[in-house]
Structure 1
Amino acid sequence: MTTPSRLPDPYGQGGGANLADILERVLDKGIVIAGDIRINLLDIELLTIKLRLIVASVDKAKEMGIDWWEDDPALSSRARHNELARENAELRERLAQLEPARPQREEAP
């Protein structure tokens, strides 16, 4: 025989399911939290910090046009590969420009 929980419903046995439902809704729909912090001294703006926080699933973020992590070499192996390929092409181009300018040495017999 199980004893009923004394905790209110959000914290009782149904709380896990409720939390999962809320998390699923937030990730599916997305949520935006925005705020600004301004520090003024005698009507002179010294500092402004704009904070924007978006919580959404990857699919929802892509649907909204947010995909910055795909181009960040620290987060994406594809972006890292693209960056290395671009850098390699630049180095090859620079080498090709330097090669014709270098005098050719005559080889000793």
Structure 2
Amino acid sequence: MSEPTLPAGRPLTAARPATGSGGGANLADILERVLDKGIVIAGDIQVNLLDIELLTIKVRLLVASVDRAKEMGIDWWEHDPSLSSGSRRQDLVEENTRLREQLELARGGRSEQ
């Protein structure tokens, strides 16, 4: 009896993923390809009750490397103050200091109870 084959004529056993130490290399290759090319996952979730739409959630997910995202014109993380460090954080520290000084001046004019 002959071994089952795939349409290309290769034995079915050759199509099985490698296990053990070679499996990690395959996963790394797949991850590298996904990050290089990018992948988009889109979906909508809708909750209805008696034909009345109660909730709609639209999910759009892009997985790509930073370089690939920049090539596509996506760079929102560079302008998001909650994600960027440095100048924005320093601005907040300076504003906090200034407000504390103003509070102390306002308290200084009145007697504390």
Question: Which category describes the TM-score, using the shorter chain as reference length?
Answer: 0.5 to 0.7
| CA gap 1:43/1:79 in 2 versus in 1, 3 angstroms | farther
The equivalent of 1:84 in structure 2 is 91
1:74 to 72, 78, 82: 82
| CA gap 1:79/1:35 in 2 versus in 1, 3 angstroms | farther
Contact 1:37 1:48 in 2 (8 A): yes
Aligned pair count reads 80
Cα RMSD after superposing both structures? 2.4
Moved beyond 3 Å, runs of 4+ = none
Structure 2: gaps of 5 or more residues: 1-15, 96-113
TM-score if structure 1 supplies the norm length?
0.62
2:53 to 28, 31, 45: 45
| 1:32 aligns to 2:37 (yes or no) | no
Contact 1:31 1:56 in 2 (8 A): yes
The residue identity in structure 2 corresponding to 1:32 is V
The equivalent of 2:70 in structure 1 is 62
Aligned mates of 2:64, 2:87 — CA distance in 1 = 22
Structure 1: gaps of 5 or more residues: 1-7, 89-109
| Identity within the alignment, % | 76
Aligned mates of 1:43, 1:79 — CA distance in 2 = 50
Contact 1:72 1:80 in 2 (8 A): no
**1:1-49 Cα deviation digits (max 9, x unpaired):** xxxxxxx643222111111100000000000111100011111111000
1:11 to 19, 27, 41: 19
